[in-house]
Amino acid sequence: MSATPAPAGRTLLEVNDLKKHFSLGGGLFGRSTRVLKAVDGLSFTVARGETLSLVGESGCGKSTVAKALMRLYAPTAGQVVLDGKRIDDLSAGALRPLRRHIQMVFQDPFSSLNPRMRVRAILAEPIRNFGLAHNAADLESRLASLMERVGLPREALGRFPHEFSGGQRQRIGIARALAAEPDLIICDEAVSALDVSVKAQIVNLLRDLQRELDLAMLFISHDLAIVEHMTHRVAVMYLGKIVEIGPRRDMFLAPKHPYTQALLSAVPIPEPGAGRTRIVLKGDVPSPIDPPAGCRFHTRCPHAFDRCRVEVPGLDPVGTGHFAACHLNDAAAPARAA
């Protein structure tokens, strides 16, 4: 189960068999009878300076991963190892100073900034909390350089969030994450709420920052075209599990899991008459409360055969650093069933 690829470079974050289950009320007398397995045994690593993208449709658990890593949710099971140190079992107080190393950029640029705080106070909060500034002048110069980094005028420090557009607010959100001088930034759908032209600005900003500051990034998104543009490696999630993970090139040019193949072919291409065969999946994603037995994807898979309905496929190597959970890639598998 822990067969995750070991990428080149030093490992910064290691996630082993992470699970997050939510018990849904429903039973009489408050006893819960049903369990939603939002994240169900996830293992991956992120190296320093590397961007790993987590891709999937709504309800696949990708945002839950972000919240579990940030410890906004307590993980149900599994290990989170940051720079060689386990952090998932730390108390809130012991975790607080380590939070500096992992920061997050949120999806909604409107609700992620406190409407009653000026930009200066928003950005100063992490600097003060982690004791990064030596004195008032140092704080001021840090604030100024943060604003410059994200492309906002210095005067904007004195303004309130509602005085900014969506794209500018997202820049403030990025500056807040950078203020803590993190090693890893988790971007949870950080550009999906933005308009096309602004989205390009923020995507470029994130890419530049990642390169200039040598940040590791966990880029959670449903937009494959942007992911391809941003990432070093990709992990595809389906119903709380990783179905395929590998380097960008392999994932986009030679995906080995039918779900990855379908996701890629479903992306509309801005080119009229672009002739290509699209794999249109039947039906909808099943409920994570009662996921299908065997391979979770078998209800929608165009290649499903008997074995898929009973046996859970393991995440097995299909190339260098490339793993897929599909029986079709099994050497012993029968010829690709139609």
Going by their DSSP bridges, the two strands 102-105 and 85-86 should be labelled as unpaired
Residue of 263, 251, 265 lying closest to 222 (CA atoms): 263
Q: Which of 89, 284, 290, 311 binds another protein (CB under 8 A)?
A: 284
Q: How far is the CB of 124 from another protein (least distance, A)?
A: 10
218 contacts 187 by C-beta, under 8 angstroms? yes
Q: How far is the CB of 177 from another protein (least distance, A)?
A: 8
Q: Is residue 258 part of the contact set for another protein (CB under 8 A)?
A: no
Binding mask 145-184 for another protein (x = CB under 8 A): --------------------x-xx----x--x--xx----
Site for another protein in 186-225 (CB under 8 A): 195-201, 203-204, 207-208, 222-225
C-alpha dihedral over 157, 63, 70, 162, to 10 degrees? 20
Q: Is residue 126 part of the contact set for another protein (CB under 8 A)?
A: yes
Q: What are the beta bridge partners of residue 184?
A: 102, 216
Site for another protein in 27-56 (CB under 8 A): none
Q: 260 or 307: whose CB is closer to another protein?
A: 260
Q: Is residue 113 part of the contact set for another protein (CB under 8 A)?
A: yes
Taken in order 150, 156, 157, 161, the sign of the CA dihedral is: negative
Q: Which of 97, 302, 314, 317 binds another protein (CB under 8 A)?
A: 97
Stretch that binds another protein, among 1-9, 45-53, 92-100, 319-327 (CB under 8 A): 92-100
Q: How far is the CB of 184 from another protein (least distance, A)?
A: 12
Determine the 3-state secondary structure of 303 from DSSP: coil
Q: Which of 77, 81, 90, 117 binds another protein (CB under 8 A)?
A: 117
Q: How far is the CB of 321 from another protein (least distance, A)?
A: 15
Taken in order 246, 247, 249, 252, the sign of the CA dihedral is: positive
28 contacts 18 by C-beta, under 8 angstroms? no
Q: How far apart, in Å, do the first and last CA atoms of the chain sit?
A: 29
**Distance (Å) of CA 118 to CA 152, 154, 163, 175:** 14, 13, 10, 13
Q: How far is the CB of 221 from another protein (least distance, A)?
A: 11
